[in-house]
């Protein structure tokens, strides 16, 4: 018997969030981090990514298609839930709620970010250190990017926790608790990476 659409969609949604999207987020943040070594290092790293072979295939299958599915199905999931943190203020219920809020925040941020960088590049602009300096010289944009990056990193780290439960890796309460610590350390570590890169442009 074939698994239901619910089951396949949910599992696919969980998987895509980690592979490839989570890995892509880490890779993206790592390239950004070159900015801490100065404009030249960043431009070289960005140029290396740009000049990868079969770049469009990578972009479509590693980034855009998984992102579209994860985002659209994620919004459907988020608006299906009836949040109740005011009555059930437990940590995991808060994380459940924040996962849905951050998901929507990330969707808005990523849409804008893709428009501002990748689509501008498609229309002839050059994505480089100077482009980010220009964008982030606007304080409102800087705040928007800080919220966006922190939201993304949280959504990934906490989503990783859910991934481990949803696929049946962490079954015991103890292993789930340990994963809470591990994923929150990942959240803090990636936040440092993201923030240091952002502030390297100002």
Partner 1 sequence: MMSEKKTVTLKIKRQDGPDSASYEETFTIPYRQNMNVISALMEIRRNPVNANGEKTTPVIWEMGCLEEVCGACSMVINGKPRQSCTALLDQLEQPIRLAPMTTFPVVRDLAVDRSRMFDALKKVKAWIPIDGTYDLGPGPRMPENKRQWAYELSKCMTCGVCLEACPNVNSRSEFIGPAAVSQVRLFNAHPTGAMNKEERLEGLMGDGGLANCGNSQNCVQSCPKGIPLTTSIAAMNRATSLQTFKNFFGSDH
- Shortest distance (Å) from residue 143 CB to partner 1: 30
CB nearer partner 1, residue 32 or residue 183: 183
Q: How far apart are CA 175 and CA 31, in angstroms?
A: 32
Q: Is 13 annotated as a binding residue?
A: no
Closest separation between CB of residue 5 and partner 1, Å? 7
Cβ distance to partner 1 smaller for residue 11 or 37 = 11
Which residue has tokens 């740009």? 50
Contact 11, 174 (CB under 8 A): no
Nearest to 158 by CA among 193, 182, 189, 191: 182
What is the rounded CA–CA span in Å between residue 24 and residue 44? 19
Q: Known binder of ligand: residue 28?
A: yes
47 labelled ligand-binding = no
Nearer to partner 1, 32 or 99 (CB): 99
Which is nearest to 74 in space by CA: 105, 118, 95, 28? Answer: 105
Provide the minimum distance between the beta carbon of 29 and partner 1 in the complex, in angstroms, as a whole number: 25
Secondary structure percentages of the chain, helix, strand, coil, to 5: 80, 0, 20
Longest dimension (CA), the chain: 57
The nearer residue to partner 1, 19 or 202, going by C-beta atoms, is: 19
Interaction site with partner 1 (CB under 8 A)? 1-7, 9-11, 77, 79-84, 87-88, 90, 92-93, 95-97, 99, 161-162, 165-173, 176
Numbered residues of the known binding site:
28, 70, 113, 155
Numbered residues of the known binding site for heme:
28, 70, 113, 155
């Amino acid at each position: 018997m074939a698994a239901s659409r619910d089951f396949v969609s949910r599992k696919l949604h969980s998987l895509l969030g980690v592979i490839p999207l989570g890995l892509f987020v880490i890779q993206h943040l790592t390239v950004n981090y070159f900015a801490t070594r100065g404009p030249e290092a960043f431009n070289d790293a960005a140029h290396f990514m740009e000049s990868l072979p079969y770049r469009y295939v990578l972009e479509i299958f590693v980034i855009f298609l998984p992102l579209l599915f994860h985002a659209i199905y994620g919004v459907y999931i988020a608006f299906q839930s009836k949040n109740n943190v005011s009555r059930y203020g437990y940590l995991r219920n808060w994380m459940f709620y924040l996962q849905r809020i951050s998901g929507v925040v990330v969707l808005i941020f990523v849409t804008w970010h893709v428009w501002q960088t990748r689509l501008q590049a498609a229309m002839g602009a050059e994505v480089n250190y100077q482009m980010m300096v220009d964008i982030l010289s606007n304080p409102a944009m800087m705040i928007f990017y800080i919220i966006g990056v922190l939201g993304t990193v949280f959504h990934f780290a906490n989503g990783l926790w859910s991934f481990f439960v949803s696929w049946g890796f962490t079954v015991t309460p103890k292993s789930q608790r340990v994963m809470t610590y591990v994923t929150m350390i990942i959240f803090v570590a990636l936040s440092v990476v993201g923030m240091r890169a952002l502030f390297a442009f100002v």
